[in-house]
């Protein structure tokens, strides 16, 4: 059977996870960090809501200081102070008011002379520079006008977005619901006790994939692990099904005996294929009781690379994220590498952004999670390349961004 191209399996997983938009989830603005807006946010108010000073200085009528210069300063009486938080007042002609940054510019004033251009006086002030009307005045509505769409649908809420919601008094926002994902590890070798006994190992994939799910902007329901016993596996799967939008299994999909995922789900409509990729050749895809199921290989490196390539972009797209893919950058290889003919290789690497170079990190084999943990990118070796020399320019997925 020919190997399935990576792009074809990517499209299949994306199609499996595509869903019509669900009812948005209303969230307090303070709890919406990292979430994707299901509806645009339209400002009901303007910002700044009142004209305020951009500097500590003196609120004046520009006409009153028109002739001021260092050689011929203008002296004005100081009618009082306007600290930040003061209500909007009025400026009489021929007078200056000492004003602080953010304080309301009084009616009648049209400019602020910064304190550095004065003698800083408190009863009278010597103004040493003329200032045009509008100088150092932040006009009402100069940042946001009422009716502006400040955040379009699909915005991912970072700190600045949370800030503007609060500045505008937007208390709740409609966010795209996050898909809920069950990560189900398989393997009779997976220890249930903290200290694995002879021949046993700790479950790395469960917590790792749950972390990857969270990082992709989805919800990981508490991950589970089962033995290689088909009824045990199916019981765990069925118990979790009503609560999830996706089941992500790891292990039990390759060619050996005791391949629990293949044995349990193969006869129940899930397809198991070989994808032209290294690592991560064996993959499974289908539904169980109508719930999407994606089956990843068990080797931890294969599992996480498979997640990166197939699941992460599809989950992020489902979660409404407008940038589902990792950014791809070009970098120069510092060392030669080899890759199997006819399979796209995603090799762990370390990117030197300043130098524009990438160094393969650890062996190509799929058992080297320690090396993966020290890497920060995936080197994307095309399927037709078998020997890539040092100095070649190659695509690299930046795992530190997105």
* Among 13-21, 132-140, 241-249, 298-306, the segment contacting ligand AMP (CB under 6 A): 298-306
Taking the least distance from each CB to Mg ion, the nearer of 284 and 298 is 298
Contacting residue, 100, 115, 204, 211, with ligand AMP by CB under 6 A = 204
| Least distance to ligand AMP, CB of residue 263, Å | 11
Taking the least distance from each CB to Mg ion, the nearer of 150 and 265 is 265
C-beta separation of 388 from 335 below 8 A: no
CA 277, CA 271: separation in Å to the nearest integer?
17
* Among 239-247, 298-306, 341-349, 380-388, the segment contacting Mg ion (CB under 5 A): 298-306
| Least distance to ligand AMP, CB of residue 262, Å | 9
Count of residues that bind ligand AMP according to CB under 6 A: 18
Query: Which residue of this chain has its Cβ atom nearest to ligand AMP in the complex?
Result: 298
| Least distance to Mg ion, CB of residue 293, Å | 17
Question: In degrees rounded to 5, what are phi and psi of residue 75?
Answer: -105, 130
Find the DSSP H helices in 270-322.
300-306, 312-318
Structure tokens at 144: 């946001």
* 292 makes contact with ligand AMP (CB under 6 A): no
Site mask for Mg ion (CB under 5 A), range 95-134, x = bound: ----------------------------------------
* 349 makes contact with Mg ion (CB under 5 A): no
Binding partner at 32 among Mg ion, ligand AMP, none, C-beta below 5 to 8 Å by kind: none
Query: Which residue of this chain has its Cβ atom nearest to Mg ion in the complex?
Result: 251
| Least distance to ligand AMP, CB of residue 360, Å | 22
Structure tokens at 123: 């009863």
Cα 156–331–3 angle (5° rounding)?
A: 80
Contacting residue, 179, 187, 284, 300, with Mg ion by CB under 5 A = 187
CA 126, CA 74: separation in Å to the nearest integer?
6
Provide the greatest CA pair distance for the chain.
Answer: 96
269: left (phi over 0), alpha (psi -120 to 50) or beta: left
CA 335, CA 201: separation in Å to the nearest integer?
33
* 283 makes contact with ligand AMP (CB under 6 A): no
Strands 180-186 and 246-250, by their bridges, are parallel
* Alpha-carbon torsion, ordered 107, 109, 110, 115, to 10 deg: -130
Contacting residue, 251, 284, 297, 313, with Mg ion by CB under 5 A = 251
Structure tokens at 15: 């199609």
Rg (CA), the chain: 31
CA 311, CA 280: separation in Å to the nearest integer?
12
* 280 makes contact with ligand AMP (CB under 6 A): no
The CA-atom distances, in angstroms, between 122 and each of 50, 98, 110, 192, 340 are 25, 8, 20, 75, 80
Binding partner at 203 among ligand AMP, Mg ion, none, C-beta below 5 to 8 Å by kind: ligand AMP
Taking the least distance from each CB to ligand AMP, the nearer of 100 and 234 is 234
* Among 129-137, 292-300, 323-331, 393-401, the segment contacting ligand AMP (CB under 6 A): 292-300
Residues 228-257 that bind ligand AMP (CB under 6 A): 250-254
* 64 makes contact with ligand AMP (CB under 6 A): no
Binding partner at 249 among ligand AMP, Mg ion, none, C-beta below 5 to 8 Å by kind: none
| Least distance to ligand AMP, CB of residue 225, Å | 6
Nearest Cα neighbor of 250 from 204, 287, 214 is: 204
Tokens 């950014």, located at residue: 327
CA 3, CA 22: separation in Å to the nearest integer?
35
| Least distance to Mg ion, CB of residue 147, Å | 58
Q: Which residues pair with 283 in a beta bridge?
A: 273
Applying CB under 6 A, which residues contact ligand AMP?
A: 185, 187, 189-190, 201, 203-206, 250-254, 297-300
């Amino acid at each position: 059977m020919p190997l399935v191209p990576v792009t074809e399996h990517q499209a299949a997983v994306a199609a499996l996870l595509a869903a019509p938009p669900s009812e948005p989830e209303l969230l307090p603005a303070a709890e919406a960090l990292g979430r994707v807006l299901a509806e645009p946010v339209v400002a009901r108010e303007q910002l700044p809501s009142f004209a305020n000073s951009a500097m500590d200085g003196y609120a004046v009528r520009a006409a009153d200081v028109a002739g001021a210069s260092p050689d011929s300063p203008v002296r004005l009486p100081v009618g009082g102070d306007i600290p930040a938080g003061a209500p909007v007042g009025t400026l009489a002609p021929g007078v200056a008011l000492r004003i602080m940054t953010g304080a309301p510019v009084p009616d009648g004033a049209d400019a602020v002379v910064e304190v550095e251009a004065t003698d800083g006086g408190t009863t009278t002030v010597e103004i040493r520079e003329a200032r045009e009307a509008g100088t150092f005045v932040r006009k009402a509505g100069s940042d946001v006008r009422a009716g502006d769409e400040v955040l379009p649908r699909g915005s991912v809420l970072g700190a600045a977005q949370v800030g503007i919601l609060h500045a505008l008094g937007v208390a709740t926002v409609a966010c795209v619901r996050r898909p809920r994902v069950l990560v189900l590890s398989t393997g009779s070798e997976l220890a249930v006790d903290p200290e694995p006994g002879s021949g046993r190992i700790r479950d790395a994939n469960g917590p790792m994939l749950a972390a990857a799910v969270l990082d992709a902007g989805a919800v990981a329901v508490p991950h589970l692990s089962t033995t290689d016993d088909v009824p045990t596996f199916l019981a765990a799967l069925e118990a979790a099904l009503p609560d999830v939008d996706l089941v992500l299994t790891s292990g039990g999909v390759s060619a050996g005996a005791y391949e629990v995922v293949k044995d349990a789900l193969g006869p129940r409509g899930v397809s198991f294929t070989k994808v032209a990729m290294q690592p991560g050749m064996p993959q499974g895809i289908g539904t169980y009781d109508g719930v999407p199921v994606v089956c990843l290989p068990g080797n931890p490196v294969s599992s996480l690379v498979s997640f990166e390539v197939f699941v992460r972009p599809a989950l992020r797209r489902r979660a409404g994220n407008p940038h589902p893919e990792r950014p791809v950058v070009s970098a120069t290889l510092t060392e030669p590498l080899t890759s199997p003919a006819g399979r796209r290789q995603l090799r762990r690497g370390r990117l030197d952004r300043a130098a524009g170079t990438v160094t393969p990190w650890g062996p190509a084999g799929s058992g080297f999670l320690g090396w993966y943990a020290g890497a920060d990118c995936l080197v994307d070796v095309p399927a037709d390349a078998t020997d890539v020399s040092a100095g070649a320019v190659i695509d690299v997925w930046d795992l530190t961004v997105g």
